[in-house]
Every structure is written in structure tokens, then in C-alpha cells.
Chain A
């Protein structure tokens, strides 16, 4: 029961490191721990020494009359300032690792809902966790994975303690989290943004597999005849919803812009601004097309907000991204 007294765990109390980033975080953690201990000993040790040394002897003790000391006060303002700037900078370096996913990261779509996670892979495999059921999210060892996340209802947060990684999952927009696992095994996932009744019962597990094994698993999945891969599902929706009436997929202009080569391209807008057609842009343009009108095109597209399931938006985006 008192396994936390185990000396190995007692070194840091942090969970087993599952990524290189976790190692970087733990180095920072050790530095903070040691520098805080030293600061604590200076402050509280000093205070304790004074309490003992200058204990009141009589009711009429004479005390020294010292109002201030400019040098001392400068030093104990400036030195903490310097230390804190060092800590800030170190934290910034680690944060940059968190926030710069490699370009070749493999994408998995995640949707949070009260109180399940849904994972959708590129090959069309998708599943939802059930409360209290630690469903396995397979990922390959040593290859970067980027989770593109949104929520179907309220805020959630995707937290993998073993990877020291966490990102809020926000309805109405995409957030992302990336990692490169360096250890085969299972890593716990928690929801860490309060989401109601079963907030504490929304687990999943990241299952890190050797890359070859993962690839075999990934290829072995044969989508049901009707479903197909994620992009296939998107293609089906693209036809079903009548998108083809205005958007070509081969580069020709019909009413609206073509989808070919759209993803990742720079867009010029009617109001003179410009932007990159990333996931967030594609999502916004599908759901609320009036937000950004591409230059020289009419604002003719209907609003699909509330008409399309979050998972279907994901599939459509994946299809558009496949039209290179």
C-alpha cells in the first residue's frame, strides 16, 4: 500500500517517462526542486536562527534600530529577479518543444464528449472509449504523432502524465498536442478540465507499439465496405452534401474555389487580409463560410454550422487535405 515510499519512485515522484520531452521536463523539475529547497533553507533557516538567537530575555530588551539597507535590499530584489528570468527562459525552451510538432507527424483526430473520447485514424478506423473502459489508442514507437482535437460539447483536457503533456479540448475550434513516444507500453490518459458528472471517469490509454507492429496493425484494418478510410468517408460526404456543385477537386473553377491543393496554401481574402488554409481555417470555412471570403469569389456558400457532426467535419478536412 505505501508503495510511494519505494526509493526509485521517491526520486522524483514523476510518472515513468514515455517521451524525450518528459526527460526535458523532468530536468527542469529537478532544477526547480533544488533551487526551491535552497531558497527555502535560506529563508526559513535564517528566520529560525533569528528566533532562537534573539529570543526575548526580558520585557525591557533594547533592540537595534535599523530602518533599511539599500545594498541588501537591492541584492535581494535583483538576485531573485535573475534566477526567475533563468527559470522563465528554461521553461520557454521546454515549451517550444511542446508547441513545435514536426511536419511529418502522423495525425490522429480526437473528439471529446461527456464522457468519452473518440479517436479517428487515417485508415478509417475509429472508436470511442466507454467510461471505465481503458480503450487502447495504438501509436508507433519513435514516430511523431499529432493529435488534432476538438470537443462535441463542453471543455475537456487531454492529459498524458507519462508524456508530461496536456492540452485543453475546446468546442468550436481545433487544438493540438504532439508527442514522440520512446518507450513501448501503456500510458494513462485523463480528462483534466472539469466537464461534469463523470469527469473523473473519462480514461483512455495510449498503447505504444514497436513501429513495425503498429504498421502491420494499421494496414491490417480493412474498413467496412460502406465506410472506407477517413478521407474516403470525407469524399462520400463531399458528394452527398452537394459540395461538388460549386467546388471542383481537379483544379478547375466552378462557383467556389477548387479543393485541389487548397490545404496548406496561402489564401487572399476579399477584405485584403490573408492567411494559411490550415485545419482551423478549413473547419471555419465549412461551418461558417461567411467568416472569410476568398478574393474574387462570391459569398454564396450556405452555413453548415449545426448541420454537420464534428466527426464528419474531420472527415471532410481529411479528404480536402488528400487532394494534393
Chain B
């Protein structure tokens, strides 16, 4: 390799042309490729969400679509947002871009495997969208049996798409685990890695251990549907509730795959914008691992009224309560980090504060749902819809957007306009609460979820919710504008525009294609504001 020639080049112009991107093994370029496709999927999933809310604007048919179309919209909104946006989002984009830089490494441990993961992910996404050519799927993203077994073949494509994207998730997780263990800079012990790396590392462990179960479950579902083997279909001796056990054995840990990396971003943002060392670094790091571990034995809290044994329900309830403890630890630690800090409310910090506000509501209502006697009433109502949107959108997407504005100068060498980014925050934050808070009340009033139509007493709150969804849509459009404007016209970024202390701020903006000209040597913790 012509080392001297590329010396002054950053990773963006190190090589040129589409082909150089499609064959790149540079973790930063792969991160950017994930960013582009995931933002595209987010746009599609978001349009579906707006259509769902439009249909629910009034009781009775609103958009002139039939219930079958609505059910497919609802299914694809869920499947796209879960399997193509929120699960892969933060690890694949920011994890890929940042973990090697934060560790002072040149790349991830297996760069070719990393590129392969991107292609596997894209293949899975294409298979999933191909479902639309075969009648689509209207099962909900959960594919509950025996309903899913009796639907057209579009279901098989969506299921195989999710299976394939799961493979990509496993490979990415494996790559990160090895990278964190083997490629840390000299002197960088495990207690000196940034908390974003810790949380992505905990996530990677869950990805590697839980995703195979989803893969097996989905393959069994396809086998049941095509061969009729009799595992889940009661008419040939199967057990439909068994599917739920298998499904949630992955999909509950998956909730933490979705939210742990977001918590990592929050730790970084709060430290930088408070100019303060993170309070309780060890507690936050290990609470990620604790959440990851406990998340494997709480799946049955999705099934309190499914017909599983009462004893199982009781055990799942008490263990689920335990998840609340490490979650509370994180919230308290972040707030304690702000104590006696020097707090600047730039747009990324606003998103972090939005995360704290919304995630606290999402977390507290999670305790309600973990409570046996309470969940019987709330299960499968809009209360649950509100709760998990507070966690996934209010939590993960807020952190994602904050992280995007925070690391944008590092990724592209330019700064987004802070004022525009703040406007997007105001719209998203307000719109989010207007959309989803009324849904808690709808749930208390007994409105079931996945309903194409509803009784007139639920109409006014649904209308408020729909208006809120327009605000969220407008907010993300403004954010997109800020990003595009930043790319084209943004001010040149210095190497460390926010005063961060983690290693990525030592690299140039954008970084050299091998990240650092000279491998950094680490002698202190990640947040040394003295």
C-alpha cells in the first residue's frame, strides 16, 4: 500500500468512487454505509407510522383503506423499525465508526467479516421487502402462531428477512466482542474504555447469545408453515404458546439490544456537556452487564395472560422487577454526573435530556406492566404501545439523534447548525409527548392495540395523538435538513469541537483512514476533567 501517498488523506477521500465504498473494509466507511441505508429504512418505517396514525384519526375508516391494508402497514412499521432501524441502528453505525477509534485501534478485529455483515444485512432487508410482492404479511412483527402459519407466503419472506438480518447482528456482535478484548490501545484497561464501548460490548454479548434463538425459532416457523411438522400448530399436535416462549426468549433481550447502546451514548453526551467525569463509572459499566444478564430470564412477562402457568408468571414478575435496579442506578448516576458540572445545552445535550425525561417515563411504566395484577388490565392495550414507544423512540431514537449531531463533525469534518438542530429537538420532543402520552390514557380506558377501528369514546385522544405524529414527522424533517445542510455548507469542524476527552477527539475530523497516525497510549480513565 502506498503509505506515504495516503498519509494526508482522511478516510472519506482516501479512495474514490462507488466501488471503493462497496468493497471497503474500513470500519468508518462501513459505519457510514449503515447510516445511509438505516436512515432510508427509518424514512419508510416513519411514513408507515404516519399512515397508521392518519387512519386512526377518526373512528371508522378514515383513509379509505381496508383493515387488511392497515394490518400490513402496522406489521411492516413494526418489523422495519425493530429489525432494520432500532436493533442495528446504534451498534452498526456508531459502534462501527467509533469503537475502534475509541480503543485507539486501526479497525475492528475482523474487517472483512464486518463488510460481509453489511451485505448480509442488506440481503435480509431485500428479502423482507420482497414479502410485499407475495401478498405482504399482516401478522404483526411478533408472527404469533397459529395465525402466522395460516397466512399467505409473504409471511415466509418477512420471517426469512428477519432471520438473515439476525445473522448480520450476530456477526457484528462477535466482531465487537473480539475488538474490545484484543485491540485496546496500550494502557487502556477495561476500566479505561469509554462507557459507550462498555454498553455496546454488553449489547454484543446479548446479540451473540440471543439472536441464534430467534434464528432457530423463525426457521421452525417456516418449517411449520411449509412442511407442517407440528411444533406450533395445535391441529397437528403443536403448541402455539411454545412459539411465544421461543420468540420472547430473543425478543426480550432484544429490547436491551435496542436500548443499551443508547444508554452508552447518553453517558458520553452527559460527560462532555457537563465537563465532568462520569459519576459511578464502574456502576454504569457493570449495570450494563447486569441488565444484559437478567434480560435473558424475564421473557415471560410478555405472557402473563397467555395461558402460561401462574407460577411461571410470578417468577417472571419478580425477576423483571430486578431489571429496574440497574436501570435506576444509571439514571441516578447520570444526574449525579451533572451535579457541580458546567452544563451547556447544545443540541446533542438537549437530546440527552430528552432521553432522560422520556426514558424515565418509559421505565416507570415498565414497572407497572411488570406488576402481575396490573398487567392483566393493561396487556395488549394502548398502554403497552405508549410504554414501548417511550423506551424505543423516546429512549433509543432520542439518543441516536443526539449522537448523530454529536459525532457528525467527527464523521464528516463539518458541524451541523446548532440552532436548526435545536428546532428539530423541540418539535420531536413536543410531538413525541403529544403523540404517545394520550396513548397511556387510551390504554387505561381499555382501548386494545392493533385495532383498525375503535369505539367513539376513544376518538378525541386518538386525534390528539395523530396531530402529535405530524410534529414528530416535521421534527425529523428539520433534523434531516440540518444534516444535509451540515454536509454541504456546514462550518469546518476542529478536531475536538465539544471538548470531549475520549480518544476519538484526538483523531482528526474526519479521521485519517487508519484513524491515528501513531497509536495513542492511554494512561488515565476516559473522562478526566480536572
**Interface positions of A (Cβ within 8 A of B):** 1-4, 12-15, 24-25, 28-29, 32, 36, 39-40, 43-44, 46-47, 50-51, 54-57, 59, 61-69, 72-73, 76-77, 80-81, 84-85, 87-88, 90-95, 97-99, 153-155, 157, 159, 161-162, 164-168, 170-173, 175, 188, 190-201, 288, 305-306
Contacts and interface: CB of A to CB of B under 8 A. Distances in A.
A77 B328 contact: yes
A51 B448 contact: no
Interface in B325-368: 325, 328-329, 331-333, 335-336, 338-345, 353, 356-357, 360-361, 364-365, 367-368
Nearest to A22: B377
B161 interface: no
Contacts of A191: 448
B190 interface: no
A91 B372 contact: yes
Given A95-B376, A192-B380, A80 B325 contact: yes
Please give me the 4 A-B residue pairs with the lowest Cβ-Cβ distance, nearest first. A94-B373, A161-B446, A172-B234, A61-B342
Contacts of A91: 317, 370-375
- B283, B321, B353 — most chain A CB neighbours (10 Å): B321
A171 B144 CA distance: 13
Contacts of B340: 54, 63-64, 66
Contacts of A14: 377, 444-445
A73 B144 contact: no
29 contacts: A1-B459, A3-B460, A4-B441, A13-B441, A32-B367, A32-B371, A36-B365, A43-B331, A43-B360, A46-B335, A59-B499, A64-B339, A65-B276, A66-B340, A67-B279, A76-B328, A80-B324, A84-B321, A84-B324, A88-B317, A90-B373, A170-B306, A172-B235, A172-B240, A190-B446, A197-B67, A200-B452, A200-B453, A201-B67
B239 A172 contact: yes
Q: Would you call the interface of chain A mostly helix, strand, loop, or mixed?
A: mixed
A72 B342 contact: no
- B240, B325, B373, B454 — most chain A CB neighbours (10 Å): B373
A47 B234 contact: no
Interface in B196-241: 234-235, 237, 239-241
B232 to A, nearest CB: 10
B343 A50 contact: yes
B7 to A, nearest CB: 32
Contacts of B452: 199-201
A217 to B, nearest CB: 27
A170 B280 contact: no
Interface of B: 67-68, 71, 138-140, 144, 146-147, 150, 234-235, 237, 239-241, 274-277, 279-283, 305-307, 310, 313-314, 317-318, 321-322, 324-325, 328-329, 331-333, 335-336, 338-345, 353, 356-357, 360-361, 364-365, 367-368, 370-377, 379-381, 441, 444-446, 448-455, 457, 459-461, 499, 529-530
Q: Would you call the interface of chain B mostly helix, strand, loop, or mixed?
A: helix
A40 B360 contact: yes
A286 to B, nearest CB: 15
B305 A168 contact: yes
A15 B446 contact: yes
B305 A54 contact: no
Contacts of B445: 4, 13-15, 161
B321 A85 contact: yes
B307 A173 contact: yes
Nearest to B377: A164
Contacts, number: 270
Contacts of A193: 144, 380
Contacts of B449: 192
B240 A92 contact: no
Contacts of A95: 310, 313-314, 317, 372-373, 376
B373 A159 contact: no
B460 A2 contact: yes
A3 B457 contact: yes
A202 to B, nearest CB: 10
A176 B471 CA distance: 44
A157 B235 contact: no
A57 to B, nearest CB: 7
B57 to A, nearest CB: 13
A194 B444 contact: no
A64 B529 CA distance: 8
Contacts of B338: 47, 50-51, 54
Contacts of B328: 76-77, 80
Given A84-B367, A87-B371, A47 B335 contact: yes
Given A66-B279, A200-B448, A154 B372 contact: no
A195 B450 CA distance: 10
Contacts of B139: 194
A198 B274 contact: no
A29 B444 CA distance: 10
A63 B279 contact: no
Contacts of B307: 167-168, 170, 173, 175
A100 to B, nearest CB: 9
Nearest to B453: A200
A171 B146 contact: yes
Contacts of B322: 81, 84
A66 B446 contact: no
Contacts of A3: 457, 460
A121 B139 CA distance: 33
B317 A4 contact: no
Nearest to B345: A51
